[in-house]
Structure formats: C-alpha cells, structure tokens
C-alpha cells in the first residue's frame, strides 16, 4: 500500500539487487541521507518491538518476513533495551493504524523517536529468498533521488567487522544490582536483553550486571555463585579480550552461556566458530534435545555458530542441535560447571518452551557445589544446601 506522505526510497544490496519502496521511521526526516547495515531476515509473526530493541541486531537491517507489521503498536515498557541498536527495519506493510491501549504509540513514531530508519512497500519475502540463496549481504537504504551507483558504492564500502565495536556500543545500559536472596548471580552484559536479567531475577537471587569491560577477578572475588554470559551482536572472535576474561573463569565458577555467550565460552574452551550463510533469526526455530528426543520451538538471533568440534573436547556433551540444519545448539560440561545454549530460553519474543533452562541451571549449580564440597572434604557425602531463592526483588542503580 502506498502512503500519501511517505517519501520514496530504495534499498540496494552490495551485489547490485535493488528494492524500491517508501521510507519510514527516522528515514522520513528531512535530514536523512542514507543508512547501511548487514541484511538479515526475521520470521517472527509478532514481537517486532522486542526484535528491534534486541541489542544483538546492532549494525543490521532487519527484514520482517511477515507482511503486516505494527498492528498492535508499541508499549515502551516492553522494549528489551532503552535504545534500538538495529540500523533499519524493512517491511512489506508498515501499519499506520494499531490496536489502542494504555501507553501505546505507533511503531513508526517509535522508530522516529529511536532514530531507526526503515523502508516499506517492498517485497520482503523476495528479499528473504534472495538472502537464503546468496547469503547475508550488506545493503544501503537512501532516498529515491540518490543514484543507484552512489548507494551501491556505500553498500560495497562497508562491512560489519571489529572496527564497528558492536558489543562495546550496546553494553552497559542495564548495569545495576538487583536485590534478592543471599545467593549472588553475575550477568555479563555483552548486549544483554532485559528478559534475561528478569529471568535470573525471577530465581530470587541478588543479581549484579557487569558491562563488557568486566574483569574475571571482579567476578571471582565478588562472592558470586554463578555467572550468566549474555547474548550480544556480531562475530565472537571480534572481542578476544572478553574471551580471555571468560577463559579465566572456566572451572572456577559455574557459567551459563546464552547465544553470543555460548559462542564465547566455546572459544574459551578451545573450540572454533563460523559464520552461517544467513543465520537463525526468528521465534520458530526447532531445536532437538539429544537426551529426550523432544523438539522445542525456540527464539533465536545469531549469524555465527559453534563448530561441532566442541564435542572433541574432554567432558563436553552436546545437548541440543538444530532440527532444521543440524547446527550445534547447546552443550554441557559437568566437570567445568558449564551449560550453554545457542537459542534464547527467555524468548521475548517467542515461545516459552525452554524457559526451564534457568531453573535447571540453578539446580545444576547446587549439584556442582555439593560435588565439589564432598570432594574437598573427602567424605563423598555432599553437605551443601540449595542456593536460597528469594521471594521478591527490586533494582537499584
């Protein structure tokens, strides 16, 4: 549908493919020139607000495969981070009208407030098929009056690499101590979603969030019972300083790795990572539990994966694989007190099939502590009480 007031625009991929439509969000401002980013497609039918505020999309242009986006507006409190880290949003039909409700605003007004550019009226599914066939590619979005050659040159001149400092740009805005029980949890914010912090807090533990500049000694000397290494954007090999600090934690404190955190812990163990052709982005990714044979539907957002060679490392057990393409989705290392998942157990958006991961990890931590205490005393009889879970919590700066 053509909107009477939206300016004409176009998106040109680095391979020369062009898509024409109407500019939306921050791209409708008179001072807008162009925006570039790596194109990824997301297959979620709902949850667009959580998608565009997920810090893992830093530097990327998000193409929504579902045609109508914006039908129920935006409620600011539902954002995963206060700011949008994505570069642009591409839709088939960005809805101007939305279901009314307290505190709601239109998605387009939210995009303007968040300085998030967009283009609509394009064939988003054609773009998706192109990315599936050719792989992830950089694109540039600009006004219709810009020459194709100029936009193409912009797309060809850029790539998402270490120089973009993606993790550093999205880390730190959720730093806080969240009071709970006497037990302590540390969350390493590499672009952490609010929902991950909330799920750790749900366990009742006092939770402290650290930014990407954390030091392992601060964790080890802080009296923490376990660490959650969070999601985040980009290539895990672009942040070797974080890998080095995580390596210092291995075997000394229980760790739960989620998405980027899963990849970083794997690197710290000596495994390798690689870039997927077009990544996993959406709320309907099937994951096979290797132990039970059950398939869970999960929420995912990543362009990189851990090599199957992780299974070659002593004590590492592959726990989950992707039922669609067979890629590694999780592993467990009982000896080093590590559990990792590539998918998002907190969902947001998506199904809550795997929300139990947080509770089960807490049970693992209690068991690991008991086993180590028994070994230290030489009694062979665990004498460790479960971590105390509080009933409520609050946040303080």
Give 266's Cβ-side CA count (13 Å radius).
Answer: 31
Euclidean distance between CA atoms 183 and 95, whole angstroms: 46
Please tell me whether residue 324 adopts helix, strand or coil conformation.
Answer: coil
Q: d(Cα 289, Cα 250) in Å, to the nearest integer? A: 24
- Residues designated as active site: 259, 344, 346
Measured CA to CA, the distance from residue 136 to residue 40 in angstroms comes to 6
Q: Distance of CA 44 to CAs 3, 47, 72, 341, Å?
A: 24, 7, 14, 20
β-strand pairing of 205-210 with 177-179 = antiparallel
SS3 percent helix, strand, coil of the chain, rounded to 5, is: 30, 30, 40
Residue identified by tokens 């990315």 is 131
Rounded CA separation 93/95 (Å): 6
**Phi, psi dihedrals of residue 176, rounded to the nearest 5°:** -175, 165
Residue whose entry in the numeric block shows the structure tokens 């969240």: 178
Within 10 angstroms of residue 79's Cβ, the number of other Cβ atoms is 19
């Amino acid at each position: 549908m053509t909107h009477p007031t939206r300016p004409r625009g176009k998106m040109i991929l680095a391979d020369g493919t062009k898509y024409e439509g109407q500019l939306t969000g921050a791209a409708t401002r008179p001072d807008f020139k162009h925006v570039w980013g790596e194109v990824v497609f997301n297959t979620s039918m709902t949850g667009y607000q959580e998608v565009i505020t997920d810090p893992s999309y830093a530097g990327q242009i998000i193409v929504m495969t579902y045609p109508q986006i914006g039908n129920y507006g935006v409620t600011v409190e539902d954002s995963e981070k206060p700011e949008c880290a994505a570069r642009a949003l591409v839709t088939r039909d960005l809805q101007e009208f939305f279901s009314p409700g307290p505190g709601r605003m239109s998605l387009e007004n939210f995009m303007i407030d968040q300085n998030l550019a967009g283009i609509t009226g394009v064939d988003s599914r054609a773009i998706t098929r192109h990315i599936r066939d050719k792989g992830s590619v950089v694109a540039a979005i600009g006004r219709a009056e810009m020459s194709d050659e100029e936009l193409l040159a912009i797309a060809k001149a850029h790539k998402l690499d270490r120089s973009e400092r993606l993790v550093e740009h999205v880390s730190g805005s959720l730093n806080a101590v969240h009071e709970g029980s006497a037990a302590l949890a540390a969350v390493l914010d590499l672009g952490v979603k609010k929902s991950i912090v909330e799920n750790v807090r749900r366990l009742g533990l006092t939770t402290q969030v650290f930014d990407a500049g954390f030091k392992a000694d601060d964790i080890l000397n802080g009296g923490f019972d376990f660490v959650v290494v969070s999601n985040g954007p980009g290539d895990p090999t672009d942040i070797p300083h974080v890998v080095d600090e995580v390596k210092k934690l291995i075997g000394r404190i229980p760790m739960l790795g989620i998405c980027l955190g899963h990849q970083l812990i794997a690197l710290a163990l000596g495994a390798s990572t690689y870039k997927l052709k077009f990544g996993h982005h959406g709320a309907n990714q099937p994951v096979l539990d290797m132990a039970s044979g059950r398939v869970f539907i999960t929420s995912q957002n990543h362009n990189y994966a851990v090599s199957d060679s992780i299974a070659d490392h002593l004590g590492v057990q592959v726990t989950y694989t992707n039922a669609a393409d067979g890629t590694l989705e999780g592993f467990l290392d009982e000896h080093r007190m590590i559990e990792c998942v590539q998918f998002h157990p907190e969902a947001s958006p998506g199904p809550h099939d795997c929300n139990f991961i947080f509770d089960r990890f807490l049970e693992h931590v209690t068991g690991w502590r008991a086993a180590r205490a028994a070994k230290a005393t030489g009694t062979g009889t665990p004498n460790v009480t479960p971590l105390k879970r509080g009933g409520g919590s609050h946040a303080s700066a």
